[in-house]
Structure 1
Amino acid sequence: MADKIGLSESIAMAVGGMVGGGIFAVLGVVAVKAGPSAWMAFVASGFIAASAGYSFVTLNNQLRQPGTPITFIEVYTGRTALAGMMGWTFVIGYIGTMALYAYAFGSYLVALIGLQTVAGIPAQPFVSTVVVVLFVGINAAGAHASGRTEDTLVGLKIALLLAFCGGGLYYGFVHGQLKSGLTTLGIGPLVAAAVSFVAFEGWELLLFDQESIHNPRTTVKKSIFVSITAVTVLYALVAIVTTSLLSPRTILLNSETALAIAARPFFGAIGFTLISIAALFSTASALNATLFSTSRLMRQLATDKLLPKRLESRGSEPVWSLVILGVLTATLASLGSLNAISSFASLTFITIFGLISFLAYQERSRSIPSVILPAIGTIGAIATIIALIWNLATTEFGTFVIVTVLSLIVITAELVYFERTPIQQEFKK
């Protein structure tokens, strides 16, 4: 019992999972789509995430033993194949997230050192691929960052972001540059909310690690709500500072590193350097941690016969899972645009959270929260999915094609695998 983590550590894990790298990469994309009302997009996404969090917690607490989102599908629907498809979707979502982290890492390093090409190859894809290969090798060798190291990194980047918010708000107030965004309302914030959703994934990992948490039902519930609320406020403040101090054109031309550039007016050149270094450490740490967790999720799915058995590594490290994850992540980070990667990753997690919210609505009790919050999670997910797809189809058709093709590949692979007769027979044994 003494080895299990408590409430404060669980909150730190959830906050670290969300702030891990998404805000450094996705902020520029959100600001381009919503302008000064970008903070509203983060608030909307946070509210939908909190509603989904309530649904996750409710389903978890109704089980005899704490379970995972994959367990929820299997227990409440009785469909093992559907649970397996949920597991695959989680893995795909994490691949998209890792690609986003790798892309952001490459972008910030290139901007920080002024590197344009490496041996004639564009620097960002090259650096993104190298960092993925590096962490695949580290994880395959069994070397992982200690929990204390991860906690320290989380604390440092939160402190730096808070300093960014405090300095930026003061500077903007003194110089009369703060913008409310209330005059730029429209569909922009809703579209931006959909794209920003990837910055709110990470808290759900607590549900996959409940065996390590003291009093998991209560601790996970409190941790999810506290962490989502805190991160929503942090993201909103970061968005206000960035969109107030930078022109729309500057954000458009520097969407990958907008957060670092926004620090220049009040912290000077050192601000850009500090934020860029923080982004490098944050995205690298998040990439490593997500790769570690996802490879073990894949191994567990293979053990449960929801993935090919060859992925059930007999050694201490799931090498085959790591290699597959590395190849897919590096490919997406190298060939995809920032908007395409963030849209695909967000779309995946919106779908997951929406499905779990719908399941919680079906399992609702007579209490008001059990009806309203899952309904908000479900309707919010549907609305943001429609807004995202509509926006991509009408304004960024190339990105729309990429996201659509990736989604169809995932759905087809899942359907083909789980409809195979041998797989179905295994489930029935």
Structure 2
Amino acid sequence: MEDKSKISLKDAISIGIGGMVGGGIFAVLGLSVTLAKGGVPISFFVAGMIALMTAYSYAKLSVAYPDEGGTVRFINEGFGYSVFSGGLNNMLWVSYIIMLSLYSSAFGAYASSLFQITGNVVIDQHIFLSGIIIISTFINYYSIKVVGEVEAFAVIIKLVILLAFVAAGFWGITDNPNFQQLNPENWESPLQLIAGGMVIFVAYEGFELIANSAPDIDKPKINIPRAYYGSVIFVICLYIAIAIVTVGSLDFTSIGKAAEYVLAEAAKPKFGQVGFTIISIAAMISTFSAINATLLGGSRVNHEVAVYNELPTEFTRSLWGKPFGLFIIAILSLVIANSIDLESISTSGSAGFLIIFGIVNYIAFKKAKDVGANKVITLIGFICCFAAFFILTIQQSKNNLEGILTAFLIFTLCFVGEWLFQNHLKNKIDKSVKK
């Protein structure tokens, strides 16, 4: 009999799907098509396979170490408390901030295009993206319950609209002349296809939220693995279907021009302005819910890292009744979203999570005997994550050097900052001992 106080398998899968089908697919689909052209479904498949292998490692670690800290706990279990583990956990925290910037940028792009096309009013997208971060921050400070209600409502709305978009898009798609764009002769090189998948890898990262809920999942040994695999496989199929419909509906030139709101543009050939409006509203609801959830999740990660003395203890304190980190995350997100372009934000987010997921795969490999993991699967996951990271780095260094340098600068600061902080703590302890 199911324990009503626990999270059911259905709800656990919903957490994974809700985490992945947030703002990522709305934000970066156009970018991926620009890189992979007609081979974009292959790009999503490759990225999905890496996510699925990583989900295997997460499932094993979540069962062995159920903790609200999730990834933070896994990293500390794998490497102990050190500058390296602290730097990695700070990277995870910063990656949440980058994701928040990505979602708000997507919200701004869809909101701006919707006003411009339906109301003939030109409003800078930075006004929208800044406004939604501020509004979401107020909501998080006001009530966590409201955040949960927004998320539950948004998951249903975005899935219904996306599934309807896919179903309608496939109807008669082979008669559309743009369907020929999916032929192999329109694919980019294998390296470019992988790079296209890695730039949009952020669209898959949300499954790791299941780890934070692991302590409350009913029948954990059975349901935790099912939740990971079920959510990731469903989203892989959904993303591939969306990619096929998009490339089969619009020519590459149109996709390039509407890269930041391409899903709404892809609805126009079949549904006209009404379709554009519905998808734009769905994107705004989806990214709004993703911003709310990421603010909450990021503040919790921030608090957890500070509890382990890998960030200053000030981050464990409250500000207006909520974690101090919530305010810091909101401020940093406003700065990043308003100063860095969408491709660079996406690159930084994907690079960060590829490194984190590669490390989690390594930890599962290292502790295979303790957690009951298959060493071959975890090793392949580790290799694939870092191979994908290097391919992304090479590709972006040619086309978006600023983006990759931004990512490296941000992540270097995570480790340098942790090293300085740990030295500060050591000196503080030494002075205390001498007294």
Same fold (TM over 0.5): yes
1:414 aligned to 406, 413, 418, which one? Answer: 418
Aligned-pair distance for 1:219? 1.8
> Percent identity, aligned pairs only?
28
Deviations 1:335-354 (A, max 9, x none): 11110010001111011001
Aligned-pair distance for 1:415? 3.0
Structure 2 CA distance for aligned equivalents of residues 124 and 45 of structure 1: 29
Residues 303 and 312 in structure 1, CA contact (< 8 A), matched pair in contact too:
yes
Q: Which residue number corresponds to residue 79 of structure 1? A: 81
Amino acid at match of 2:74: F
Note the aligned Cα RMSD (angstroms).
Answer: 2.7
Q: Which residue number corresponds to residue 260 of structure 2? A: 256
Aligned-pair distance for 1:323? 1.4
Unpaired stretches in structure 2, ≥5 consecutive residues: none
**Structure 1 residues 423 and 274: CA distance shift in structure 2, 3 A:** farther
Residues 147 and 292 in structure 2, CA contact (< 8 A), matched pair in contact too:
no
Deviations 1:296-328 (A, max 9, x none): 221232233222111212468435212110111
Q: Which residue number corresponds to residue 159 of structure 2? A: 158
State the number of aligned residues. 424
**Structure 1 residues 236 and 211: CA distance shift in structure 2, 3 A:** same
Aligned-pair distance for 1:421? 4.4
Q: Which residue number corresponds to residue 133 of structure 1? A: 134
Structure 1 CA distance for aligned equivalents of residues 178 and 221 of structure 2: 45
> How does the TM-score come out when normalised to structure 1?
0.91
Residues 59 and 360 in structure 1, CA contact (< 8 A), matched pair in contact too:
yes
Q: Secondary structure at the residue paired with 2:179? A: coil
Q: Which residue number corresponds to residue 361 of structure 1? A: 365
Aligned-pair distance for 1:89? 1.6
Residues 101 and 286 in structure 1, CA contact (< 8 A), matched pair in contact too:
yes
Deviations 1:351-400 (A, max 9, x none): 10011112222233599971232122112111211111111111223333
Q: Which residue number corresponds to residue 396 of structure 1? A: 400
Kindly indicate whether residue 103 of structure 2 is the aligned counterpart of residue 101 of structure 1. yes
Q: Which residue number corresponds to residue 15 of structure 2? A: 13
The correspondence of residues 23-422 of structure 1 with structure 2, limited to 5 A, is 23-63=25-65, 68-114=70-116, 123-142=124-143, 144-145=145-146, 147-175=148-176, 177-179=178-180, 180-183=182-185, 184-186=187-189, 187-314=191-318, 317-365=321-369, 370-422=374-426
**Structure 1 residues 156 and 416: CA distance shift in structure 2, 3 A:** same
Q: Secondary structure at the residue paired with 2:296? A: helix
Structure 1 CA distance for aligned equivalents of residues 81 and 307 of structure 2: 17
Structure 1 CA distance for aligned equivalents of residues 178 and 236 of structure 2: 22
Aligned-pair distance for 1:62? 3.8
Q: Secondary structure at the residue paired with 1:105? A: helix
Aligned-pair distance for 1:268? 1.4
Aligned-pair distance for 1:173? 1.8
Residues 32 and 40 in structure 2, CA contact (< 8 A), matched pair in contact too:
yes
Unpaired stretches in structure 1, ≥5 consecutive residues: none
Structure 1 CA distance for aligned equivalents of residues 18 and 54 of structure 2: 19
Aligned-pair distance for 1:414? 2.9
